[in-house]
Chains A and B, each alone.
Chain A
Amino acid sequence: MSSQTRQLEQDQVFKEEIPPPEDGRLALIIRYLKMQARTKRTLSDFLFKILLAICILVIVAPFFMVLVQVLSVGIPEVFGSGPGQGLEFFGTFPGPGLEGGIRNAIVGTILLMVVACMIGIPLSVCGAVYITEYAKPGTVTSAIEFAADVMAGIPSIVFGAFGFAFFVDFLHIGMGLIAGGFTLAFMMIPTVLRTTQEALKQVPMALREASLALGATKWTTTWNITIRAAIPGIITGILLAVGRVMGETAPLIFTAGNTLGVPTSVTGGGSWVASLPYTVWSYITDPREYLQAKAHGAALVLLLMVLAVDIIANIILRKLTRRVV
């Protein structure tokens, strides 16, 4: 503390000895700093702000470090023109030594997303419609809300272990598209349910009342008026859930299997399906050197897909809030 005071006294001496320069950016900065160092309290105020600014830099730095790592190795794979690079990276299946492209993983991820959406969206959207439009606020509503919140916090590997025990083993579906898709669908439910609920709550009551006053039934009002008004919010929720689920590896390890081609059947051994996150994981832990670059390429593709979905969701959300406000 005494050193700070001494520093302050020195500053004051410094100010008296050298006359302040007339103009220029540097002079302005110096004057600003001196103003900040006027007393001990303003100085600590200033230093605390600087410390917080450094903290935020430390927080966002890893984002750029991850980006640099993935881009520096991944770009030649994705946009290059060598064997197994560029268009070939997207368009060809991996050979027996895993050389070639990652078409199996891209197709597999899209297929899994389609299955997950087909099951997850109707369940969660209908559930949200029921608890906001039909159910009286009470035990049922809060029980469903609580279940959704708990599900949002369940670790992904627990979903994976459950999917393995229930779909693969208990229901004898076997690993593949159906088991993996259902497991991912369950992971989507909480996000979609909660965002749909929020979107429905935002729809003005007057719209519903106008429709009901015109003699429409509750059912017609809900599906033709309320849902239509809430559709941007619902789509945002679905996209956020898809973006989150697309990058999950752990639930797929024991439920989806892996394959070098595309699934040929809906159930049984032919339905094993590859996915981008699983491919990244298996390539990065493989001792063969050339697979490292492919892992980066696959990670870049996955990153671009996830960020694209996320950014579209954000744009829709921003447009929506602007319209409402």
Chain B
Amino acid sequence: MSQQIKEDLSQFIRELRSAKGSARIDLLGRFGLLIPALASSAVIVLILTFLWYESALIFASPEGGMGIIVNPTWNPNRDLYGIAIFIAGSFMCTILAIGIAVPLGMAGALFLSEFCPHRLRGPIRMVIEMMAAIPSIVYGLWAYLVVTPWIGSVLAPAFGVESNGLSLLAGGIILAIMLLPTIVTVSDDALQSVPRTLREASLALGATSTETARKVVMGAAMPGIGAAVVLSLGRAVGETMAVLMVTGNALQIPFSLFDPTYVMTSIITNQLGYAFVFPLWRSALFAVALVLLLMSISFTIMAKLFIRWGMKTRGLR
């Protein structure tokens, strides 16, 4: 490997010496473009190194160690930095959001791809794409002023629970709304790419159009839909502002839908501003960020695997 790089480099220098005028610019340009190409991908390495460098302190210290990931007590005043409570909060919020958004989004994508009247398809897709563009702070504003009071005054009394609305449920609902555009557009693209012949074969065998859609088209589009779900998982875990505003941020593991909760992104946003002068506290917050980063990387890899599986089922690669 290093031998080859050395050879390449010496050949490059030899060529550069012999070249003149525009040929020299060409050679320099080739080398010059390599730098931004490497720099743009080095950012991810830089982020990983820095989060590790910042959080190394808590993982190495006797108060912390690797145990903080399963320790549920967070109390910086007594040097207790368990982050399990936030991981659990994020996990429950995400599961709830995925539970709402995936069935709904798949149904929506199925309608859009298979049954939607041609004239309505364009506008509906446009609205859904615009939903994806709305900043999370605007969703947060709406959820904070409309959804949480509604949960507090209508939904919670209906179930006989006392709640001010700032709850796990509110976080799940607003997250689901923010995930739906991704799920619908990616699943719709996957459904659209299913070959026409499959649908025609199923219809010719006497299946109704919904039976075709449900059993044949959905089955063929499964890898694409799987990628959509995994991608949205990553977004759900990493969503910050809207969730921060509606989940109530209480240091407890929620036992019902109407209990407030604390997610990983919220604890960083809320406490990094005060914590940066206390080395251990700050280091624990960066450990949370590192966990978030590793989760998002693994979701991306999973989504890529789903896409590769999809390619294989079509015999494309």
A residues neighboring B (CB under 8 Å): 41-42, 44-45, 48-49, 51-53, 55-56, 58-60, 62-63, 65-66, 69-70, 122-124, 126-127, 129-131, 134-135, 140, 143-144, 146-162, 164-166, 169-170, 186, 189, 193, 217-220, 222, 243-244, 246-250, 253-254, 277, 280-281, 284-285, 292, 295-296, 299, 302-303, 306-307, 310, 314
B238 near A157 (CB under 8 angstroms)? yes
A249 near B54 (CB under 8 angstroms)? no
A296 partner residues in chain B, CB cutoff 8 A: 141
Q: How close is A282's CB to chain B, nearest CB, in angstroms?
A: 10
A51 near B44 (CB under 8 angstroms)? no
Interface string of B100-114 (1 = CB under 8 A from A): 000011011011100
* Known interface pairs A55-B107, A62-B142, A140-B37; 12 further A-B residue pairs with C-beta atoms within 8 A, sorted by A's residue number: A48-B210, A56-B124, A66-B139, A153-B235, A153-B296, A155-B238, A155-B292, A217-B22, A244-B133, A247-B137, A253-B273, A303-B138
How many angstroms between the C-alpha atoms of A280 and B143 in the bound complex?
14
A126 partner residues in chain B, CB cutoff 8 A: 32-33, 36-37
A248 near B30 (CB under 8 angstroms)? no
A248 near B135 (CB under 8 angstroms)? yes
A165 partner residues in chain B, CB cutoff 8 A: 50-51, 53-54, 286
Contact of A55 among B111, B211, B239, B299 (CB under 8 A): B111
How many angstroms between the C-alpha atoms of A159 and B184 in the bound complex?
27
How many angstroms between the C-alpha atoms of A151 and B276 in the bound complex?
25
B60 partner residues in chain A, CB cutoff 8 A: none
How many angstroms between the C-alpha atoms of A248 and B136 in the bound complex?
7
Q: How close is A195's CB to chain B, nearest CB, in angstroms?
A: 14
A169 partner residues in chain B, CB cutoff 8 A: 276
Closest residue on chain B to residue A66 by CB atoms? B142
The listed residue with most B CB atoms (<10 A of its CB), out of A45, A62, A170, A277, is A62
Main secondary structure of the interface of B (DSSP, over half): helix
Contact of A247 among B40, B138, B235, B273 (CB under 8 A): B138
B36 near A130 (CB under 8 angstroms)? yes
B146 partner residues in chain A, CB cutoff 8 A: 65, 69
Closest residue on chain B to residue A247 by CB atoms? B135
Interface residues on B, range: 35 or more
How many angstroms between the C-alpha atoms of A143 and B111 in the bound complex?
37
Main secondary structure of the interface of A (DSSP, over half): helix
Q: Does B3 make an interface contact (CB < 8 A)?
A: no
A69 near B142 (CB under 8 angstroms)? yes
Q: Does B285 make an interface contact (CB < 8 A)?
A: yes
Please name the 5 residue pairs, one residue from A and one from B, whose CB atoms are nearest each other, closest first: A247-B135, A155-B238, A147-B41, A126-B36, A52-B111
Closest residue on chain A to residue B288 by CB atoms? A161
A158 near B104 (CB under 8 angstroms)? no
Assuming the contacts A45-B208, A130-B36, A150-B297, asked whether A281 and B130 have C-beta atoms less than 8 A apart, the reply is: no
Q: How close is A97's CB to chain B, nearest CB, in angstroms?
A: 21
How many angstroms between the C-alpha atoms of A55 and B113 in the bound complex?
13
B40 near A123 (CB under 8 angstroms)? yes
B108 near A249 (CB under 8 angstroms)? no
Assuming the contacts A250-B269, A314-B129, asked whether A66 and B108 have C-beta atoms less than 8 A apart, the reply is: no
Interface string of B228-262 (1 = CB under 8 A from A): 00010011011111000100000000000000000
A247 partner residues in chain B, CB cutoff 8 A: 133-138
B54 partner residues in chain A, CB cutoff 8 A: 165
25 interchain pairs, CB-CB under 8 A: A49-B115, A49-B210, A52-B108, A55-B111, A56-B111, A59-B105, A60-B128, A124-B40, A130-B34, A148-B40, A151-B43, A153-B300, A154-B297, A157-B265, A157-B269, A158-B51, A158-B292, A160-B268, A247-B136, A247-B137, A249-B240, A254-B273, A281-B241, A306-B134, A310-B130
